[in-house]
Chain A
Amino acid sequence: DIVLTQSPATLSLSPGERATLSCRASQSVGSFLAWYQQKPGQAPRLLIDDASNRATGIPARFSGSGSGTDFTFTISSLEPEDSAVYYCQQRMNWPLTFGGGTKVEIK
Chain B
Amino acid sequence: EVQLVESGGGLVQPGGSLRLSCTASGFTLTSYAMNWVRQAPGRGLEWVSTISGSGVSTYYSDSVRGRFTISRDNSRNTLYLQMNSLRAEDTAVYYCARRTNYYDSSGTARWGAFDIWGQGTMVTVST
Q: Do A and B bind each other?
A: yes
Q: Are the C-beta atoms of A100 and B117 separated by less than 8 Å?
A: no
Sorting the interface of chain B by its residue count into under 10, 10 to 19, 20 to 34 or 35 or more gives 20 to 34
Q: Does A44 contact B (CB under 8 A)?
A: yes
Q: How far is the CA of A94 from the CA of B65 in the complex (A)?
A: 13
- The interface centre, meaning the residue of B59, B62, B111, B113 with most chain A CB atoms within 10 A of its CB, is B113
- Name the one of A49, A91, A95, A98 contacting B45, with C-beta atoms under 8 angstroms: A98
Q: Are the C-beta atoms of B45 and A94 separated by less than 8 Å?
A: no
Chain A residues 28 to 76 lying within 8 A of chain B, measured CB to CB, are 34, 36, 38, 43-46, 49-50, 55
Summarize B's interface: helix, strand, loop or mixed. strand
Q: Are the C-beta atoms of B114 and A95 separated by less than 8 Å?
A: no
Q: Does B41 contact A (CB under 8 A)?
A: no
Note all chain B residues with C-beta closer than 8 A to A50: 112
CB distance from B14 to the nearest CB of A (A): 24
Chain B window 21-50, contacts with chain A (Cβ cutoff 8 Å), 1 for yes, 0 for no: 000000000000000010000001111001
Q: Residue on B with the closest CB to A47?
A: B113
Note all chain B residues with C-beta closer than 8 A to A97: 47
Note all chain B residues with C-beta closer than 8 A to A100: 44
Q: How far is the CA of A91 from the CA of B113 in the complex (A)?
A: 7
28 A-B contacts, Cβ less than 8 Å apart? A34-B112, A34-B113, A36-B114, A38-B45, A43-B118, A43-B119, A43-B120, A44-B114, A45-B117, A46-B113, A46-B115, A49-B100, A49-B112, A49-B113, A50-B112, A89-B47, A89-B113, A89-B114, A91-B112, A91-B113, A94-B59, A95-B59, A95-B61, A95-B62, A96-B47, A97-B47, A98-B45, A100-B44
Binding site for A on B (CB under 8 A): 37, 44-47, 50, 59, 61-62, 95, 100, 111-115, 117-120
Q: Which 6 A-B pairs have the closest CB atoms?
A: A34-B113, A43-B117, A96-B47, A49-B113, A98-B45, A46-B115
